[in-house]
Structure 1
């Protein structure tokens, strides 16, 4: 599979990818890009106004308010640990805990040697629907594009044949596509398709139309199955998603039917820091 051209940076011996839009350091010259100045600062007085909660929690709440209000938009640079210590009057350990927890929660992105920045909000998908990822990305004001890593015919092994309702060594189609939100990869779509329902699948340009849209035109879906798991990516998948090997990922295993025949079996892999699933059941009274 093709992995060239990925914008990776080497940090402490680990290949680490930075999402597009965040400031980066020019390694050849050591000259950093300019970042916006802060528009609000935590002070001893503002923290005291938040009552008896622990100081690290008060600092987290202050930062979240700046993010939620729009005062600190995505990619905005947060004051450094030293600046926060001086401004808020709390210990460095307290500041470090607040920033560390907000990073783990996906609200901040910390870049070694560069700074701490407000994270881009995660994209999300309905848990029980089969939606087109290009539409989901566009609905949130971003640009979708895709790169086709693999598109070919294969013979079904025993496990794949069972999953797709085919006979062993029957022909099937296999595609691997990386979907991007702006310039950041957010999903690897690894899909097997029944050729009887989409005989021209291998002839499609999946940089201009998604497999979801193409298959729905040919064989409207009547039912589906989702299995959701927390996994880590393989080294090759981590390269395609531009993430460190240890980052948790969300994996959706999806089978879809048109009538009584299985249309496709897909494995949809998302970086945990860039995606979430959500669902709603019933109507509020």
Structure 2
């Protein structure tokens, strides 16, 4: 006799059917009403189990049609309240990391860049644009502006060997970060770069970093919405 909560028993039952292949991808699972009768529980309990599996990407609800087994999509995950080196994240998942440097130049700050970096309009600023891959699949487009007075050797770095995140962390130890996350409709350039379908959303992380009292860099980090997620863990007293 199991001591598991009833919704977990139902979830385990469905999960076993999926993992064993008895319910393959595309299969319409037993209805909520039938599961309610089979396990002698409330509809709410069955609904909770199915909601959890939908959230985990194992099931998909189709209005007026039912609930179906879907192909699991593994999502890369990064901490929202910290900064990890993306190359280490990819390798920690057992995947092969590589990147392509699209741009690494000196330019002048427009109004938006000047505001975000806290510098004068038209000031010189370093700019880089890099695609990060996991197993040859693009998982992040990194667009970054860097304060040239704080990091004067930024343009001389080989970012195919050491990511900007790693280099900046070593050169200017991090003391503060600012994150803003939003879902956006990507433009054609981002769709092409990240190999997005015409309807796939994009997850954009806006990040500013400080070392002591110096604002070091501002970055826009674009991720495929179907392949990436951000998480956080807060310890409460």
Q: TM-score, normalised by structure 1?
A: 0.62
Q: Which residue of 1 aligns with 2:13?
A: none
Unaligned runs of 5+ in 1: 1-37, 73-92, 109-117
1:122 maps to which residue? 75
1:215 aligned residue: 168
1:1-285 paired onto structure 2 within 5 Å: 40-42=21-23, 47=30, 50-52=35-37, 94=65, 97-99=66-68, 103=70, 108=71, 118-119=72-73, 121-282=74-235
Partner Cα distance (1:122, 1:206) in 2: 25
Report the Cα distance in structure 1 between the residues aligned to 2:22 and 2:183, rounded to whole angstroms. Answer: 37
Q: After the TM superposition, which of the residue ranges 256-265 and 158-167 deviates more from structure 2? A: 158-167
Q: C-alpha separation between the residues in 2 aligned to 1:41 and 1:159? A: 55
Please state how far the C-alpha of 1:197 moved relative to its aligned partner.
1.7
Q: Note the residue ranges of structure 2 that are not aligned, 5 or more in a row.
A: 1-18, 59-63
What is the TM-score when the length of structure 2 is the normalising length? 0.74
How far residue 47 of structure 1 moved from its aligned partner, in angstroms, is 4.5
**CA pair 168-42 structure 1, distance change in 2 beyond 3 A:** closer
Question: What CA distance in whole angstroms lies between the structure 2 residues aligned with 1:211 and 1:139?
Answer: 19
Q: Once the two structures are superposed, what CA deviation does each residue of 1:44-78 show, in whole Å capped at 9, x if it has no partner?
A: xx949844489xx89x96xx6xx99xxx9xxxxxx
Q: Superposition RMSD on alpha carbons, in Å?
A: 3.1
Cα distance in 1 for residues equivalent to 2:77 and 2:105: 29
Number of aligned pairs? 199
Q: 1 CA distance for matches of 2:99 and 2:164?
A: 11
